[in-house]
Amino acid sequence: MPTSHEDIVARLRGIREEIDHRGLTEPAALKEAVAGLEDLIREMDGEKSDLNRLLGLCVKGIRAVNELRAADTLGSVDAIIESLDAAEHYLQDRPNKEVLVREAGQLLDSVLSKNSARAETDSEEIHPEEFVEMTLNDAAACLLQIDSDDFPEMERLCRMIDAVVAARECPAPCREISEQALHLAVQVVDKRKADPDFTIPEDAITDIGLALEEALSSLSENNTASTDTPAVEKPAPGAESTDYLPEDADLDLIGAFITESGDLITNAEEALLTLESDPEDIEAVSTVFRAFHNIKGTSAFFELALMTELAHHAESLLSRVRDGEIRYAGGYPDLALRSVDMLKELFRLLQDALNGSPFLKPQGYDELTGLLAAPEAAGISDVSEPAAPRPVSPPPSSAEAETSVAEPAAASPDALTRRPKLQTGKQVVESSIRVPIDRLDRFIDMVGELVVSHSMVAQDQLVAGGTHHELQKKVAHTTKIVRELQNMSMSMRMIPLKTTFRKMARLVRDLSRKVGKDVSFITEGEDTEIDRNMVDIINDPLVHMVRNALDHGIELPEVREKMGKPRYGTLHLSAFHSAGNVVVEVRDDGKGLDREAILAKARERGLIENGGGMSDREVYNLIFEPGFSTAEIVSDVSGRGVGMDVVRRNIEAIRGQVEIQATPGRGAVFKMSLPLTLAIIDGMVVGVGPEKYVIPTISIIRSVQPNPGDISTVLHKGEMLKLQGKLIPLFRIAELFDVREAQSELPKAITVVVENDGHQAGLVVDELIGSQQIVIKTLGESLGNITGISGSAIMPDGRVGLILDVGGLVRLANTD
């Protein structure tokens, strides 16, 4: 015995740690381990047969892992490490050493035999359906790389195809085609056996490749798997990703098709959600059916085969629902919604394709069409799945997508009592035409102009003088018409929040399933209108708030029950007008915000020092601080991309505000106040000499006429104003903008204190003229961006006023 036990133990440990550390990714490490073990075996030759056998097995296992032959790589490595451990124990004469070694040996043996089973017949797989596809893919890949004289590889290929043919799970059509491929491959091998100089002809490879490809596609048609694995790209020869956009496509027409279909898809999605709460709603089925049918027809016209196929399958599914063949329940709703999602994805890709990128088949397309073609084969039925993550609850999915008026009293919802409500208003057929946005803007401009010139007429001495009563009456009448016209023109840019709310309904549905919470989603005031440009801007913050409410606010059903609340949580999304603003509110009845947790977090992040005397409101506002963004707030769910600070920034960018109210244990309310439109701001008109400027009211803190004593100069250039103990820099608009005849004596002039990015500044102007609503216009391309001016506005007298950009002014003053 040349080597002492301790030495062997140390070496074994070294090898084990090596494997443990460097893992599977380092073939070099594994090879080293093999070499080390082999040395050991040689040294201990014949000494302890059990141990030697075990180590031999380890070597075999490591080799298998190394060559990536192992069926269960992780399991193999575990078994190997276990065995090495056991060997160590044995050598250290620990109790039960024989048993340990034997057990480890058996474990490793079984893992390894699994490996060899795979290597030989490839038929013992954990996922039989995937196995066939995988092997076919492997075979195709192998074929691609084959050299014309590489016969061992060719034989390997034969074995692979053979395995597919032998596999029980292989569907009949696929097997037939695979047999053909096998036949071709065997022929080649036989020829080689007969003639050693024979090389594999190119066309034989192509033929086998084509057969394999066919087998794969027959498989995807028959794919009975209901897993979410994306369709594997076929690596067979000639199967490069195809551009599905026809070469002679009329791009303009397709563009119109995309726009049109966008509406159809939105309607379809909404109808599907309605349908889920009321599977008997034939009207909704027809809506979806029509949408798919339309898309199918038009896409066929454009030769967009991908959409035609998908729409066709989805349409057939819906027609079965319509004919009462199947009920819209169980797995079908998911399937239908997935088709809608896929259609959306296709249209997105098509849009990209119009800009030049290739129109490729999206991931999971084949799988989904396969499912749609034969949903029953994949085990989808209209029986509700009992083991879904959402536990059975009082409102079984019926209250989920509820989009009716709020009815918190109906806490025991019953699909039947709700149905009449859902059907109201669906007969209203909306008829509309599309108007280019620039024409609309022009129209609104003209109306604004009409208002101005009309008021000039109305205030004219002749009219207002009081002698022409008939004329006065007529002018008063036109005033009414003009005002009506103005209101109408403003409302033309407004669209209801309905579409946005529908998106949220879908979000809540999907998300509540995912997190396993029961949520009844109620929307109110979805007819509230908002400027078209703002809809896109508020979408992201809203998604974030809804997600937060679901994620952090509403508790799991079990927890809720324990707290004496109903199992299902309620999420209210409402919109209403308030004080000239539109308010969008997300209200949940979850656990509310945890004041202490927020404070602790803020202290940890260094946002506050103590926070003892802070009001609830101040505390809640802390979650809008950037430091909070990436971390968990109250619960442990985190990493959801945008933080609340982004929400606030987005809202404030459109001159809105966010506010939080919360009652611990009772729920929280996130309230967004938004201006009605982006085109109008509240502005303070100020005069500087002969010029008039507008300062956005939102950035004005106050205006003062300071005492001379409060003003101090810095280096005789900069001026500072002492205001309530704070020193703020003063900027003279007249100097910055080179306006003559302006008031230069400070006490007589007025200082408007403004705030931007948390910094205050004083703007010195001659007079405050008044506050009014201002329609914002750009200065146009030719005048570009002028520092200190954010835009222009038409003043009531018809002249143009310039809107001051407070941030820019401060920058301007600093550069001079």
Partner 1 sequence: MEKSVKSFDQTSKDVQDKEGKYLTFTLSDEEYGIGILKIKEIIGMMPITSVPQTPKYVKGVINLRGKVIPVLDLRLRFGLEAIDYTDRTCIIVVEIEGETGDIMIGLVVDTVSEVLNIRKDEIEPPPRFGTKLDTDYIMGIAKAEGGVKILLEIDKVLKSEEILLLEKTA
Mention every residue, 6+ apart, whose C-beta is less than 8 A from residue 314: 292, 336, 339, 340, 343, 372
- Between 148 and 453, whose beta carbon lies closer to partner 1? 453
Select the residue interacting with partner 1 from 17, 263, 800, 814 (CB under 8 A).
800
Q: Shortest distance, CB of residue 259 to partner 1, whole angstroms? A: 21
Query: What region, left, alpha or beta, does residue 495 occupy, with left being phi > 0 and alpha being psi -120 to 50 degrees?
Result: beta
- The runs of H, that is alpha helices, within 23-96 are 27-43, 49-66, 73-91
Number of chain positions touching partner 1 (CB under 8 A): 31
Number of H helices, E strands in the chain: 26, 18
CA distance 689 to 744: 10
- Between 517 and 692, whose beta carbon lies closer to partner 1? 692
CA distance 555 to 282: 35
- Between 643 and 791, whose beta carbon lies closer to partner 1? 791
Q: By rule CB under 8 A, what string of x and - marks binding of each residue 681-710 to partner 1?
A: ----------xx------------------
Between the alpha carbon of residue 275 and those of residues 336, 415, 499, 569, 572, the distances in Å are 11, 11, 17, 21, 21
Burial category of 465 from C-beta neighbours within 10 Å (exposed 0-12, middle 13-18, buried 19 and up): exposed
- Between 392 and 456, whose beta carbon lies closer to partner 1? 456
Select the residue interacting with partner 1 from 34, 112, 746, 802 (CB under 8 A).
802
CA distance 662 to 15: 58
Structure-block tokens of residue 348: 């997105």
- Between 449 and 596, whose beta carbon lies closer to partner 1? 449
- Between 712 and 785, whose beta carbon lies closer to partner 1? 785
Classify 433 as helix, strand or coil: coil
In sequence order, the β-bridge partners of residue 774 are 681
- Between 180 and 792, whose beta carbon lies closer to partner 1? 792
Q: By rule CB under 8 A, what string of x and - marks binding of each residue 634-673 to partner 1?
A: ----------------------------------------
Q: Within 105-134, which residues bind partner 1 (CB under 8 A)?
A: none
Burial category of 346 from C-beta neighbours within 10 Å (exposed 0-12, middle 13-18, buried 19 and up): buried
- Between 228 and 438, whose beta carbon lies closer to partner 1? 438
Select the residue interacting with partner 1 from 100, 554, 736, 763 (CB under 8 A).
736
Which one of the spans 64-72, 140-148, 371-379, 735-743 is the region binding partner 1 (CB under 8 A)?
Answer: 735-743
Which one of the spans 88-96, 358-366, 599-607, 736-744 is the region binding partner 1 (CB under 8 A)?
Answer: 736-744
CA distance 362 to 349: 8
- Between 771 and 787, whose beta carbon lies closer to partner 1? 787
- Between 396 and 796, whose beta carbon lies closer to partner 1? 796
Q: Within 323-352, which residues bind partner 1 (CB under 8 A)?
A: none
Q: Shortest distance, CB of residue 805 to partner 1, whole angstroms? A: 12
Question: Is residue 746 near partner 1 by the rule CB under 8 A?
Answer: no
- Between 138 and 735, whose beta carbon lies closer to partner 1? 735
Q: Shortest distance, CB of residue 726 to partner 1, whole angstroms? A: 28
CA distance 293 to 261: 11
Q: Shortest distance, CB of residue 453 to partner 1, whole angstroms? A: 9
Nearest to 677 by CA among 507, 555, 495, 433: 495
Q: Shortest distance, CB of residue 354 to partner 1, whole angstroms? A: 21
Q: Within 250-309, which residues bind partner 1 (CB under 8 A)?
A: none
Q: How many other C-beta atoms lie within 10 A of the C-beta of residue 601? A: 21
Phi, then psi, of 812 in degrees rounded to 5: -60, -45
Q: What is the DSSP string of 293-331?
A: HHHHHHHHHTT-HHHHHHHHHHHHHHHHHHTTSS-S-TT
Q: Shortest distance, CB of residue 769 to partner 1, whole angstroms? A: 15
Select the residue interacting with partner 1 from 243, 798, 811, 814 (CB under 8 A).
798
Q: Within 431-450, which residues bind partner 1 (CB under 8 A)?
A: 442, 445-446, 448-449
Select the residue interacting with partner 1 from 401, 504, 801, 805 (CB under 8 A).
801
Select the residue interacting with partner 1 from 285, 737, 752, 805 (CB under 8 A).
737
Q: Shortest distance, CB of residue 773 to partner 1, whole angstroms? A: 15
Which one of the spans 32-40, 381-389, 637-645, 800-808 is the region binding partner 1 (CB under 8 A)?
Answer: 800-808
Select the residue interacting with partner 1 from 794, 806, 810, 813 (CB under 8 A).
794
Give the strand pairing for 800-804 and 691-696.
parallel
Nearest to 764 by CA among 692, 707, 686: 686
Q: How many other C-beta atoms lie within 10 A of the C-beta of residue 136? A: 27
Q: Shortest distance, CB of residue 792 to partner 1, whole angstroms? A: 5
Q: What type of residue is 112?
A: L
Q: Shortest distance, CB of residue 757 to partner 1, whole angstroms? A: 22
Structure letter (DSSP) for residue 550: I
Q: Shortest distance, CB of residue 178 to partner 1, whole angstroms? A: 59
Q: How many other C-beta atoms lie within 10 A of the C-beta of residue 470? A: 7
Q: Within 772-791, which residues bind partner 1 (CB under 8 A)?
A: 777-789
Question: Which residues sit at the interface with partner 1, rule CB under 8 A?
Answer: 442, 445-446, 448-449, 691-692, 736-739, 777-789, 792, 794, 798-802
